[in-house]
């Protein structure tokens, strides 16, 4: 078994570590270049790179994907795995592995294609979501499905908890599926295009809550409280949920929907200050 693993953030790192621990060790890890992060803009390596270094796995960090990046063993790969890589693999790279390229997407495709399926599922009050393994083609989250697995969304789930559950589920599903995939025991199924929905990349503007709406959610409750609480669970830590109070930007980090359907703020942070529990 010879494969490359493409992925950069925590979602990919959780999956990669599960694969390594199960003996599915990639020939190399392909991730985005190191980038400046935080207020001090410290150059920081991706989590998948750190994991690869820990296990003495070679790392590739191309700025631009090109077939020349993979010339070191171009004809011997059985498959690739792509999980949260954030770059579209061109046709000439997709054609390298013998069995194809497996994508890992945290939704039940064709629903919630695109960059923000976890946030979208919480915002839309879905009762369940899941992970899909599919064969990549040149379109975004479009190829035929190999396997999927459902995941219940709890009322207490936020982006972080649901993200981690889906990453763990994705790793487990890969471990279960890869041997059958290599034995050609799985018949892929085309996605139903009539059922396809798409997500967008959320911006800071999407996380804004008017202060009057926030006050109403706390005092009167009802639908506005439900919507604000859902937004807080879905959009933290990035891009974050915030309002303007007394001319100052205030982040809303945690909140709870009470039995009477009013909103109770639990943790806030004013600009330039430390988070405060209330």
CATH no. for 3-195? 3.40.50.170
Beta bridge partners of 80: 4, 101
Place of tokens 């909103």: 263
Distance CA 27, CA 29 (A): 7
Q: How far is CA 21 from the centre of its chain?
A: 21
Binding residues: 107-110
Q: Where are the alpha helices (DSSP H) in 35-150?
A: 47-54, 91-94, 117-123
Q: pLDDT value at position 260?
A: 95
The CATH number of domain 204-277, selected from 1.20.1240.10, 3.10.25.10, 3.90.380.10, 1.10.599.10: 3.10.25.10
Nearest-10 Cα torsion for 236, 167, 75, 25: 120
Give the start-to-end residue ranges of the domains of the chain: 3-195, 204-277
- Strands 59-60 and 28-30, by their bridges, are parallel
What's the token pair of residue 235? 């959009």
Place of tokens 């060790």: 25
Per-residue pLDDT of the chain (278 residues; tens, 9 = 90+): 999 999 999 999 999 999 999 999 999 999 999 998 877 889 999 999 999 999 999 999 988 877 666 655 556 899 999 999 988 898 889 989 999 999 999 999 999 999 999 999 999 999 999 999 999 998 999 999 999 999 999 999 999 999 999 999 999 999 999 999 999 999 999 999 999 999 999 999 999 999 999 999 999 999 999 999 999 999 999 999 999 999 999 999 999 999 999 999 999 999 989 999 98
Binding residues for (6S)-5,6,7,8-tetrahydrofolate: 107-110
Q: pLDDT value at position 65?
A: 79
Query: Is 204-277 the same fold as 3-195?
Result: no
- Environment class of residue 110 by beta-carbon count within 10 Å: exposed (0-12), middle (13-18) or buried (19+)? buried
Residue length of the chain: 278
Q: pLDDT value at position 73?
A: 52
Establish how many alpha carbons lie within 13 A of residue 56's alpha carbon, considering only the half-sphere containing its beta carbon.
0
> E-assigned strands of 136-223?
145-152
Q: pLDDT value at position 74?
A: 55
């Amino acid at each position: 078994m010879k494969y490359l693993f493409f992925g950069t953030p925590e979602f990919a790192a959780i999956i990669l570590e599960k694969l390594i621990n199960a003996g599915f060790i990639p020939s190399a890890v392909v991730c985005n270049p190191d980038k400046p992060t935080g207020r001090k803009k410290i150059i920081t390596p991706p989590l998948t790179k750190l994991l690869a270094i820990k296990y003495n796995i070679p790392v590739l960090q191309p700025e631009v994907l090109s077939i020349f990046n993979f010339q070191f063993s171009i004809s011997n790969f059985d498959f690739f795995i792509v999980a949260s890589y954030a770059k579209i693999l061109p046709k000439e790279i997709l054609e390298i592995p013998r069995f194809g390229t497996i994508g890992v997407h945290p939704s039940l495709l064709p629903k919630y294609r695109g960059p923000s399926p976890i946030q979208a599922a919480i915002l839309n009050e879905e009762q369940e979501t899941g992970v899909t393994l599919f064969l990549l083609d040149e379109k975004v989250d479009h190829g035929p499905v190999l396997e999927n697995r459902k995941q219940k969304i709890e009322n207490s789930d936020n982006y972080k908890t649901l993200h981690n559950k889906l990453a763990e589920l994705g790793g487990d599903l890969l471990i279960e599926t890869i041997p059958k995939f290599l034995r050609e025991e799985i018949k892929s199924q085309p996605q139903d295009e009539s059922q396809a929905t798409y997500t967008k990349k959320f911006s800071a503007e999407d996380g804004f809550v008017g202060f009057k709406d926030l006050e109403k959610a706390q005092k009167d409750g009802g639908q506005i409280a439900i919507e604000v609480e859902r937004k807080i669970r879905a959009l933290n830590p990035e891009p974050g949920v915030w309002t303007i109070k007394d001319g100052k930007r205030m982040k809303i980090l945690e909140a709870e929907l009470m039995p009477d359907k009013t909103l109770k703020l639990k943790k806030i942070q004013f600009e330039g200050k430390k988070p405060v529990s209330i």
